[in-house]
Amino acid sequence: MRTLFLAKIKNKMNKKGISTGVLILILVLAVFAYSSNMLGLKDWLSGLGGGEPSGGTGTGETTKCPSSGLTEVTINSQKALATTATAAITDYYVYDGDVLVANGNSGTDGISTFDVGCGIGKTYKAKIINETRYVGYYGKDITLKADSATDTHNLQLYTFGMVKIDGITNSIQNVGDTSATWIGAGASSVGKICNFKITFHVNESTSAYYKPLIVCEANSTIITDLTLVGATAADSKVPSRLSPATGSAFHVYEIDTITTEQATLVLNGKLQFGSTAAKATDTNTKCRIIDQAEYKLADYKTLSMEEGWGYGAQNSETAADVGAEDSSQVTINIAGSNSTSGYCG
């Protein structure tokens, strides 16, 4: 076809009396335009003969897709950190652009197999997750390549873990010390910044706690601020299912994901006493750790992947807990009225 095309050009040029040098230059440019597919010339000529344009993006049968026009997707989900191959039971949600086109469950073997439309350059987005509260798996978003007969993905997913707070103490104590874990509060503590520390770890094998929030509750009059060193302030992320005691306020901080691979962790904190430091009701400072997880909204089937899913420490529609179980709450005692005893008293 290329030879016929070039011959036609040459004949037309000769009839118009163009010089041989100019004709050669035109032929060279024509060869270059065809071979490089400049301006779609090669595709256009191929189309004249009934062929399929190269690099097409249709979803019908192509040279790389099977005659069925479908790609078989296989997802093998395994439990991350497990010492032996352990299947992770997951659900899959597949989106073509903003439209949910397939969803289902892997079953106990952790293997999900399903078909999607095949086409050169065709891709889908998929969310692999198990939302079951306390015993599920944190989700992963993946891209499915549907331009050939098969597409296989092997995933390692973290299961929801449990966090144990080993203790909360003033900064000069260690967890397990027999002396009282208090911080002095009284006239001598007015305006002082007193240090404390929280010790914790993930206490369930081969699991994780995703971007956990440290939620501490402190009396608003006596303690004007509470900070955790190396953590990010996240007061806006506290779930509404938790409520501070009357006269107290939450101070919330976010830390990186923790797993059972990590040793016991220690967070150092600071309490800022205000102008009134006398002992009052509910002055003891209490802290707990809660994780954050994804969850699907009630109308997720009619929404895009970005809009149909939420993320946080609770379901925004129902206020229900999501993800891993909250840790137990621990307390650091604030000493009695005008006390000079205890650390920082």
Tens digit of each residue's pLDDT (9 = 90 or more) over 33-82: 555 555 544 444 444 443 333 333 344 445 689 999 999 999 999 999 99
CATH number reported for the structural domain that contains residue 267 in this entry: 2.60.40
Give me the mean pLDDT over the 268-282 stretch.
73
Q: Is residue 344 part of a domain?
A: no
Is 115 inside a domain boundary? yes
Q: Are residues 189 and 328 in the same domain?
A: yes
pTM, to two decimals: 0.77
**169-208 pLDDT, tens digit each:** 888 877 766 565 577 766 667 788 888 999 999 988 889 9
Residues 194 and 101 in one domain: no
The DSSP code sequence of 271-300 is: EEE-S--S--TT-SEEEEEE--EEEE-TTG
pLDDT at 185: 65
Q: Over pLDDT 70: what percentage of the chain?
A: 74
pLDDT at 233: 97
> Region 269-284: what's the mean pLDDT?
72
Same domain? 316 vs 191: yes
Is 15 in the same domain as 81?
A: no
What pLDDT, on a 0 to 100 scale, did the predictor assign at position 183?
Answer: 79
* Same-domain pairing of 250 and 317: yes
Give the Cα separation of 91 and 104 in Å (integer). Answer: 6
Burial 239-253 (b: 16+ CB within 10 A, else e): beebebeeebbebbb
Provide the residue count of the chain. 345
Structural domain of 36: 2-48
Out of 157, 173, 191, pick the residue that ends a domain: 157
User: Which residues on adjacent β-strands are paired with residue 75?
Assistant: 112, 153
pLDDT (0 to 100) of residue 214: 97
pLDDT score for 67: 93
- CA pair distance 9, 304, nearest whole angstrom: 52
How many folded domains does the chain comprise?
Answer: 3
Query: Do 152 and 33 share a structural domain?
Result: no
Whether residue 81 is contained in a domain is answered as yes
- List % helix, strand, coil for the chain (3-state, nearest 5): 15, 40, 45
Domain match, 214 and 327 both: yes
The position carrying tokens 């009059």 is 221
Look at residue 230 and tell me if it is in a domain. Answer: yes
